[in-house]
Structure 1
Amino acid sequence: MNAEGVRERATSLPREPGVYQFRADGTTLYVGKAVDLRSRVRSYADPRSARIRRMVDRADEVEIAVTDTETQALLLEANLIKRHQPRYNVRLKDDKSYPMVQLTDHPAPQIEITRDPDESATVFGPYTNKRQVETVVKALRETYGVRGCSDHKYAGRDRPCLDYEMGLCTAPCTREIDLESYAEDVTAVERFLEGETGILADPLRREMEAAAQDQQFERAANLRDRLETVEAFHGEGGEAVQSTGDERAVDVLGVAIEGEDATVARLRAENGKLVDRDRHTLEAPGTDTGDEDVPESGAVPAVLAAFIVQYYAERELPDALLLPERHGDEEVAAWLETEGVAVRIPGAGREAKLVDLALKNARRNVGGRDECAMLADALGIDSAERIEGFDVSHAQGKFAVGSDVAFVDGSAEKADYRRKKLADENDDYANMQALVEWRARRAVEGRDDRPDPDLLLIDGGEGQLEAAREALAEVGWDVPAVALAKAEERVITPDREFSWPDDAAHLHLLQRVRDEAHRFAVQYHQTIRDDVKTVLDDVPGIGPETRKRLLGRFGSVENVREASSEDLRSVAGVGEKTARTINERL
């Protein structure tokens, strides 16, 4: 659509408030609101940015919808942006990637971390750090004994399960604790999750001090780390919200932008306490918000304006909004004023500290593709934030080892890497089964200090995956497992196979985990192999480096023995005389 076409279309439009859509081949490119539709659309005949010019050139029609009020235009714009996800708008993506904690509606409630809470459950969150949530929930269970098992496992038991023996549950299933006392413990858990940090921090501190006094320093250090996590759980500035007048609920927004990606972090305070936090991703290619075109890189005011309308259009507005800077949208300002929402941009004091905290939360996420959520959706599992990858390495059954690497939020968590020597066996399936069984048994018996993963990734094909699943079934560890085959990069699940596009972000995530598990296994195998004394040590002319090159080239002493003189001489440092000596000695 050229400039003349825009002017001609604008001439026929009313001078009333409403919403307009630039469309191409039936697809909505851009949605805007206007106090005066004719004047606003006519301004696109002379766009003031290259991005807007490209959008107008692509468009072949302009559709409008007249509204009675400017506020109606504002809300209709938000709904159309959510429905059509137009390429040239700043648009909010649904936030489904953050965990919550729920206490189920049951005579003996279960505590559970979930992304899809039950309608009848008591729910807390969402939270931005799943690992922190896992640490806190484990501490709550150890302190108050609230069960973590499913209702199915709870029903019909005649003796307590292993969680009771480990001190993670008081076993209401077999009435080791009566339901009235159990309900009191659940109430204590609720009080902590509502913001009363001391109800969990105080017993942890007493336990830490007792361990230190008994000179159990390792346990005291673990309790100290757990205590720090618990005390930080409700966030810095948890008491920093100072409500004004009748303000009960205050939302604090922070924005970070990188390229065309933006993140808005929202903190919610009620009655002076920080009770909720979440982060939301927006695509921010830039937008035309009114009088001026926003640069292509996006701008904080434009993102704030878009987020406020799109997020609160279908949610209850808070009594006050604290922002890092003004959003600059007159229609949004009028709407918030009509709804009685106070908007403040604090420059100092407690409220400014809270805005700074929101900004820190936003900057931690900006620019990141949510590969974990994409992977979870593709596989149909609850979460893929924590993935553990497994691989085995050996030299024809000799020096067999296994690797167990961990990735959290798409990044390697090297402190959680583990490795294991395996029985020398030239059977990849048996080796994988032994490795996964070792990990599963440690988890079930409470001997592994790491959180349970959301997903296990097996390096291999159907055979390795089946071996891993047999190990999981044998031990009773209920964790989803998939395999990634190298040859065709096929993702194999128990039910089907996936061939995702080469540029799929969630496939890249699995490839990173798989490659790191392989690297870690091979590295450990080489270390074990090189540390083992072999008959090569007694061959004149062969030092440690030559021995390492021989084993690296042939894989084992047996293969070196069977190698021809010509093959031996292909190894650096092995000449004709040394090759002959090797043949004679071996």
Structure 2
Amino acid sequence: MIDREILKNIPEKPGVYIFKRDKEYVYIGKSKNLKKRLNSHFSFKEEKSRLIVEESNKLETIIVKNEKESLLLEATLIYKYKPKYNVMLKESEPYPYIRISSDVFPYVEVTRNRDKDGKYFGPYTNVKFTRLFLEVLQKILNFRTCKKNIEKIKKPCLNYYLKTCVAPCVDENKNFKMYGEIIKRLEEVLSGDYEYIRNFIEAKMYHHAKMLDFENAAKYRDVLLAFNNIMINQGIVLRDKRNVDYIVFKDNMFLVLKVRSGVLTSKLLYEASLTFEEFIYQFYYGMKSDLPNKIVVSKQINLNFDVPIIVCREEDDKYLLEIALENLTEHIKSINFSKDILIKMKEILNLKKIPFRIEGTDISHRNGRFTVASLIVFENGYPKKDEYRRYKLGDILDDFESIRIFIRKRYTKHRPPDLFFVDGGKGQVNAAIGEFNKMNIDIDVVGIAKEEEVIVTKNKSFKLDPTDVVLRTLIFVRDETHRVANSFSGKLKNNEYKVSKLDSIKGIGPKRKKQLLMKFGTLKNIKSASLEELEEIVGKTIALRIKEEL
């Protein structure tokens, strides 16, 4: 515990204060007057303050010039160190970002984590949209996406020959100024200048058509169509090219609609007991979200921020705010509905506690080979796909033994959930209960027998009405465990088949196999590729051999 005497040396100035226990961050706060704020913590007016002071053995302060700087610094430090007693902005799901690394010749990637240096753009709602968007941008701007150390690369990869990367890894291409211009242009596009991409592609397309180079003109036409389709599929495209964020908030929930170059790129949901001011700083600076030209809200907010925060006046602004508010309202309703279902589940299944966290598994194999277990996670009634896992179990035909192996693998390292779900009937449920008992883990286990959707627990088996919300929820959990397990087992089998088929062709070693898979992606695509396309990668002799043997 920190001695109150330390407050004698605290100045009456704005700044950020940090409670620590050795190297662990306990709490980070900010204040216009550090001395006054810290005195209130040591007065133990709130239970939280008492816990913070008692658990800490070190207090640090950072003085800043004004309150705005303290908000910015607090948000950045909270997100970086995630202190035990701070309220964190919680995403409804892990959203993807586009990151430009801080290397001398930066690489670009799609990531859900924001723990590395570099510039981040986003967040985006849909990872598929984000990847397709970046793929089109790479074809136009030719930046690198590989994460290798450039100094250790002796020759360029396939992307250079496909003309999607300028290969700054090659000595003769190490032009810092040229590559810097590429990254600068990428940053401008990711900040909302989508029109540049359209204009660039169209100019290239018309140039090649004018030169009667119809092959390359067609290539740029296809890129333009792909880009336009990506934008249209996002749902809303406005008449102008605005870069605006629309924010609504209610009941500790915040919803952000991000519009870039007139296109709705993201619908983002966050939960936290924060003021609007705290949310703004955590979202844009703590979470490294890119800034728009302005932020539109439904009611007047007096906040000195880096971009204007205005009340909506235009019809398009009102329309988007209405969409945002409707989505937020429906989300809040669905959360309450989910909690009601979980309470009902506890009663019907006679559980020890409300199953706020459910983990489930299904075993899948291919005739006793490629046996895998899925691990899916539901929290507060919603799937947490970032916590899904897949476990390789070897070649095992016995489902009961597979369940026992999975439980040992998972729960010797991880805390058990409120409820464990297993896809199967009495045998599978008993196998799980037996293994948990061996590990001295007291946990409720439930399963569903597929044939008649019979619910199985430790003490009974019973059926519910097909429309019952508890049954529908358990079926949804079951189907998710089944989907994840089957797709993974099938992928393992396909990977082995793909490798063995290519390896059996004379003249194809690891290097050529990698080149073929990088170019065509799958064995099916290699099989359907033209002879000319294969010749570009492996030469005429081996291309003919591939055609013959596949």
Band the TM-score falls in, shorter-chain normalisation: 0.3 to 0.5
**Normalised by the size of structure 2, how large is the TM-score?**
0.42
Computing the radius of gyration from Cα coordinates, the structure with the larger value is: 1
